[in-house]
Amino acid sequence: MLSKFKLQQLSLLKSRSGLRAIITNTGWLFADRILRMGVGLIVGVWVARYLGVHQYGLFNYATAFVALFSSFATLGLDNVVVRDIVHDVSHKEKILGTSFWLKLFGGVSCLLLAVSTIYVLRHDDKMTIWLVAILGTAGIFQAFDTIDFWFQSQVQSKYTVVAKNTAFIITTLIKIALIQMQASLIAFAWMTVVEIGLGAMGLAIAYNIKGYSFRLWRWSFPVAKTLLKDSWPLILSGLTIMIYMRIDQIMLGEIIGDGAVGIYSAASRISEVWYFIPTAIVSSVSPTIFAAKQNNEEVYYQRIKQLLGLMVLISIAIALPMSFLSGSIITMLFGNDYAPAAGILSIHIWASLFVFIGVGTSPWFIAEGLTHLSLRRTLVGAIINVVLNLFLIPTYAGVGAAIATVISYAFGSFLVNAMHPKTQKIFNIQIKSIFILK
C-alpha cells in the first residue's frame, strides 16, 4: 500500500541529525503530555471534588457519548496524511487542503449524529442533551489538526505542543476560576470547546509564522478518494475503538446510574492518563519504520520488535505499583466519596499493557497495508466488551466494567492477531515482547 519513498525525502530519517530530530520531537511530545498529565490531573481532580460523584459522572457520560462519534470527526486521517506527505511533499497543499475540508465535514457530522442520538435516548434529560451538544461542537475545530499533520511529517511537533499547551494553560486557569466562582456544570463543558478552539488558533498562527500559507491549500477530489480509500477502515476502527474504550461508561450510566459513572471515571482517569506514552512514541518513530519498510526488511522488523519490547516494559512498570497503591491513590486525590474506585483502578490499570502493545503495532498494520484487518480486531474487542458488560455490570457495577475492559483489550489488541494468517507474524512478536524474550 505504501509507495516507494524517494531517497532524498528519507535522508532526514537516516542521518544523525535525523535521529536527533526524532529524539527532540519525542521529547516535545512527552513534555506536552507530562504537563497535561500533571496539571490536568490536579485540576481534573479538583473539578471532580467540586462537582461531586453524580455531576462528575454525568459530565463523563456526556464526554464518552460524544467520543463514540469522534471517528467521524477525525476520519482516520492522521497517519494516512502524514504518510502521504512523507511520500511526496510536493503535493502537500492538495493533501492538507483536502484533509482540512474532509475533517471539517466530519466534525459537523459528528455533532449532528451525537445530538440526534442522545435526543432519542434521553429526550427528557435536557442537561445531558445540552452537555452532548456543547462537547460535540469541539469536533468542528479539530479540522485544524491538519496543520499538526504537516508538523508531524516534518518531525516538528514542538509547534503543536506550544500551541495546544498555551490553550490548555489558559483554560486550566479559567477552570480554577470557575471553581472559585461556583460555576455550573455547563460552564466546564464549554471549557472543553474553548481549549480546542484556542489550540486551533495557535496552530494556524504557528503555520503562518513558519512561512506557510493557507491560501495555497487546495481541495482535490482524487486526493479525497485516495485518502478515504486508505482511511475508511481506520474510521470504522476508530469507531470500534471508542466503543470498547467508552461503552463501559455509557452502559454504567444506563444500567446503574450517573453516580456509578463518576466512581468509575475517577479510576479510569488515573489508569488512562498514561496512554499518552505509546501515542507519543509511535508518532515520532513511525516515519523511520515506514522508511525501513521500503529499504531493509530486517531493520524494519528489528524496529518493530524494539518498539513493542519498550511498550511492554513501560506498561508493566506502571501497572504493578498502581495495583498495590490504588486505595491510597484514590482517597488521597479524589477523597473518601470516591473510595470505591480503588478496586476498579487495581483491575483497570492492567488494560494499559494491551493498549501499549496495540498502539505499538499500528505502524506495522499501516506499513503492511493491513488496516482492514485492524478493523476486524478492534471489532472483536468491542463486541466482547459489550457482551461482558451486559453480564458483569448489573452484578459488579464498576468492577465488572473494569474486568470487561481488560479482557476485551487483550482480545482486541493481542489475541485476535493469532486468528489470521497475515497477522500471526506480529502476534509472535507480541508474544515474545510480553514475555520479554528476544
pLDDT at 261: 96
Of 132, 126, 100, nearest in space to 113 by CA: 132
Residue 9 scores a pLDDT above 60: no
Exposure letters 13-51 (e unless 16+ CB within 10 A, then b):
beeeebeebbeebbebbbbbbeebbeebeebbbebbbbb
Residue 25 has which C-alpha cell? Answer: 520531537
SS3 of 290-342: HHHHHHCHHHHHHHHHHHHHHHHHHHHHHHHHHHHCHHHHHHHHHCHHHCCHH
33-47, 81-95, 136-150, 386-400 — which is least confidently predicted?
A: 81-95
Give the residue carrying C-alpha cell 475508511.
232
pLDDT tens for each residue of 93-109? 788 888 888 888 889 99
Residue 421 scores a pLDDT above 80: yes
pLDDT tens for each residue of 341-394? 999 999 999 999 999 998 998 888 888 888 777 777 878 888 999 999 999 999
Tell me what percent of the residues of the chain surpass a pLDDT of 70. 91
Give how far the C-alpha of residue 152 lies from the chain's centroid of Cα atoms, to the nearest Å.
16
From residue 246, how far is each of 60, 68, 140, 261, 383 by CA, in Å? Answer: 10, 7, 21, 11, 13
Q: Is the dihedral of CA 46, 52, 53, 58 positive or negative?
A: negative
Residue 258 scores a pLDDT above 60: yes
Helices (H), 88-125: 92-121
- Radius of gyration of the CA atoms of the chain, in A: 21
Residue 108 has which C-alpha cell? Answer: 459537523
- Please give the Cα distance from 332 to 74 (Å, whole number): 36
